[in-house]
Amino acid sequence: MKIQLASSYGFCFGVKRAIEIAEAHRGSVTYGPLIHNKDEINRLKEGFNIGLAERLEDIETNDAVVIRTHGIPKNELAVLKSQDHKVIDATCPYVTTPQNIVQKMSVEGYSIVIFGDKDHPEIKGVVSYAEDPEDAFIVLEPEELESLPLKGKVAVVSQTTKKPEDFAKIVTALLETRKEVRVFNTICTATFENQDAAAELAKKADVMIVIGGKHSSNTKQLHSICERHCKDSYLIENEQELEASWFDGKELCGISAGASTPDWIVQNVINKIQEMKKVDEVI
């Protein structure tokens, strides 16, 4: 069997930047998980004494606080800045973009439509930048737009990790009913590249291994894309979840990884597969 890595996979710019920021502030606390990868978070905890606070009240008075890659709600950021904390903002620039757009367009009197998962931390942060919370709406399907009290002019943004074709459906539905629609494509380019590379590899692979956090939106998207082209596609967080039977009779094993997956975890997976199965080549 051969192992082939996708031409684009793993750490995106925003995640790499956040990790470097955290490492540079040894002994600090992240407000919420810095990224969606518990193994990497444990590495930061053990190697750099980086703590984790899930609630504002869990943050000690003199703590240096690192803002997670996905960002946090505007009001919570204001609370942190008003207290005796050193605030280090590791929010991905691709996430601050929709935050700024929502704030600007809301001030200009547009209804705001956000394509994304309402429970995702990124979206919780983005929607908080609307001047009028009652005029900002989070949707996943075009049908949800029908019952919304939208103004004649609408601004629409997307969660950074969503699929462009799904975002296009939301935009098309808005264009059919509103007089003015301002469309801001806020989907991350790294997401495009990883998804396209995973799809191309899955078309020729006998088995696909997608590595990343089970709660990571972009990793789940990668797995879904791989399943379309390769029925034997598996989503794992680390090498401990691998099963030898997955590789029985397989000639080409493809590997992709989510934007929050570090290279050391990918290498651990490759090493484990090589222990389970005779591998002729890793390409």
* pLDDT tens-digit map of 3-24: 999 999 999 999 999 999 999 9
Determine the pLDDT at residue 136: 98
217 marked as binding residue: yes
Say whether both 117 and 199 belong to one domain: no
Question: What's the alpha-carbon Rg for the chain, to the nearest Å?
Answer: 21
Q: Which of 44, 63, 91 is the last residue of a domain?
A: 91
Are 238 and 268 contacting, i.e. CB atoms less than 8 angstroms apart?
yes
Say whether both 266 and 207 belong to one domain: yes
253 marked as binding residue: no
Determine the pLDDT at residue 131: 96
Q: Which positions of the chain have pLDDT values less than 50? A: none
122 has catalytic annotation: yes
Say whether both 175 and 206 belong to one domain: no
Sign of the CA dihedral running 177, 106, 155, 187: negative
Say whether both 87 and 100 belong to one domain: no
Residue position matching structure tokens 């590595």: 211
Q: Which of 75, 91, 107 is the last residue of a domain?
A: 91
Determine the pLDDT at residue 161: 86
Kindly report the pTM of this predicted structure: 0.85
82 marked as binding residue: no
Q: Which of 40, 66, 91 is the last residue of a domain?
A: 91
Catalytic residue, candidates 76, 122, 237, 239: 122
Say whether both 109 and 142 belong to one domain: yes
223 marked as binding residue: no
Are 40 and 262 contacting, i.e. CB atoms less than 8 angstroms apart?
yes
Token output for 191: 């997401």
Determine the pLDDT at residue 60: 87
160 marked as binding residue: yes
Taking alpha carbons only, the member of 33, 281, 259, 260 closest to residue 270 is: 281
230 marked as binding residue: no
Determine the pLDDT at residue 6: 98
Question: How many domains does the chain divide into?
Answer: 3
The CATH number that applies at residue 173 is: 3.40.1010.20
Say whether both 151 and 177 belong to one domain: yes
Say whether both 200 and 170 belong to one domain: no
Say whether both 105 and 175 belong to one domain: yes
CA distance 24 to 22: 5
Say whether both 107 and 151 belong to one domain: yes
Say whether both 139 and 164 belong to one domain: yes
147 marked as binding residue: no
215 marked as binding residue: no
CA distance 264 to 283: 17
Say whether both 101 and 86 belong to one domain: no
Say whether both 55 and 85 belong to one domain: yes
Token output for 117: 């998962």
The CATH number that applies at residue 19 is: 3.40.50.11270
Range of the domain at 125: 94-183
